[in-house]
């Protein structure tokens, strides 16, 4: 084998390695970002969804599920990357006592591997607790 072939091989391997690194970098970084985004947005949305009118009547902290879903989507969209497609699934909203369970999965619109897209799924379960 000529020495030049070794050079080509090395270049090809380098390109491949770079692609893999970029792919995983995209995936992992997105996951980190998604996790904290989901957590922060969930907390904010739950607090925004606290039904003040109900609290005035009863003194009980409750959330409105529609309001929670709206706020979550709006807040998440405000911080989401335009380069990805997110699938937000809100599985459980207990209005009183306040509890939510949801998942957000994202797919990169930029990188794919052999035509397959990796779903990065973050689930979060949270509650609102009142103090004594």
Partner 1 sequence: MRKKLYFFVLILFCFFGFASNVKAEILYDITNFYLTDNTLTLNGWGLIHRHHNGNLSGGYANTYKFQLTNSSGQVVRTAEYKYANTSGNKDSWANSLSLTCFLNEQTVAGDNARCSTFHDDFNLTERNKIIMKGTNYYYDMINFKAVFNDMNTLPDDEYKISMTIISGYDGYSETENELYIIEDYVTNTSSIFDTSEFTGSLVGGVGQVIFIANNAMPGNFKNMDWSIGGTTLGGIEGGCYFTPEYKYNVWGKDELRTQGGATFYKYQLEFSSHNGSNCGRVWDDLNSGNKAGAYAVWVKPWGDSPILIKRKELDPCADGVYSESGVQIQTAKEYAYSNPGMCCDTTKGYEVLYETCCQNTELIKNQNIKYLDFCCKETEYEYYMNSDAIKLPTFKYYSPSTFDYETNIIGPSGICPTCDTREDYNYDEDTDTPSSCCLKYPENSLAYNEDGSYRCEKTNPVCSDESNQCYNSDYFEKNTACCCGLYGSESGYSEKCKIGPTTWKTNLSCKDSPNANTIIANTPTGVTDGDTVITEKVTFTNYTPLDVMKKNENIIKSGTGLDYKIDVQHTVTRTYNGVGSSKTNPIDFGCQNYTIAKTNAENYYYNTIAQQLNSSIYNSRSFDVGIKNFLTSNNTYKFNSIAKEDYYTLVDNTFVPNTPIDGSRVELYFEAMDWPTIYGCVKKTYSIMVPLSKEYIYNYSINFKDKFISKLDTSVVTDVTTDKKEYLDGYNRFYTETTTETGVYDFNITVSNGGVTGRLNTTTDGFSCQYGVVNKFYNNGIVDCSPNEFPCSDDNDTTTNGRGFYFRQISLFDPFPNGRTPGKNWRDYYIDDEYRYITHSGENDSYGSVSDEKGDSVYIEEPMYEVTLDADLINQIKKYNKSIHYDYGWQNMTNYAFNNVDSTTGNLLSSTSNFLSGIGGTSCYNNDICDKIDWNSKLSKISDTERQNKVGDFE
- Asked whether position 3 contacts partner 1 by CB under 8 A, the answer is no
Alpha carbon distance 122, 88 (integer Å): 10
- Asked whether position 87 contacts partner 1 by CB under 8 A, the answer is yes
Among 23, 31, 101, 111, binds partner 1 (CB under 8 A): 101
My answer on whether omega of the bond before 115 falls inside 30° of 0, hence cis, is no
Which SS3 state, helix, strand or coil, does residue 18 take? helix
Q: Identify the CA nearest to 88 among candidates 72, 65, 100.
A: 72
For partner 1, what does the binding mask look like between residues 64 and 83, x meaning CB under 8 A? xxxx-xxx-xxxxxx-x-xx
Alpha carbon distance 45, 97 (integer Å): 15
Query: Based on CB atoms, which residue is closest to partner 1, 29 or 85?
Result: 85
Which SS3 state, helix, strand or coil, does residue 9 take? helix
| Eight-state DSSP code of residue 83 | T
Residues 20-49 that bind partner 1 (CB under 8 A): 39, 42-44, 46-48
- Asked whether position 86 contacts partner 1 by CB under 8 A, the answer is yes
Which residues make up the interface to partner 1 (CB under 8 A)? 39, 42-44, 46-48, 50-62, 64-67, 69-71, 73-78, 80, 82-83, 85-99, 101-103, 109, 123-132
């Amino acid at each position: 084998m000529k020495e030049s072939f070794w050079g080509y091989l090395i270049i090809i391997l380098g390109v491949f390695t770079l692609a893999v690194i970029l792919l995983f970098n995209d995936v992992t970084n997105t996951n980190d970002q998604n996790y904290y985004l989901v957590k922060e947005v969930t907390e904010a949305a739950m607090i925004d969804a606290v039904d003040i009118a109900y609290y005035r009547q009863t003194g009980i902290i409750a959330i409105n599920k529609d309001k929670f879903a709206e706020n979550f989507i709006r807040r998440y969209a405000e911080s989401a990357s335009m380069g990805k497609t997110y699938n937000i699934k809100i599985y459980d909203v207990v209005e009183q006592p306040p509890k939510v369970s949801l998942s957000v999965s994202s797919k990169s619109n930029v990188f794919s591997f052999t035509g397959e897209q990796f779903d990065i799924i973050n689930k979060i379960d949270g509650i609102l607790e009142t103090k004594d």
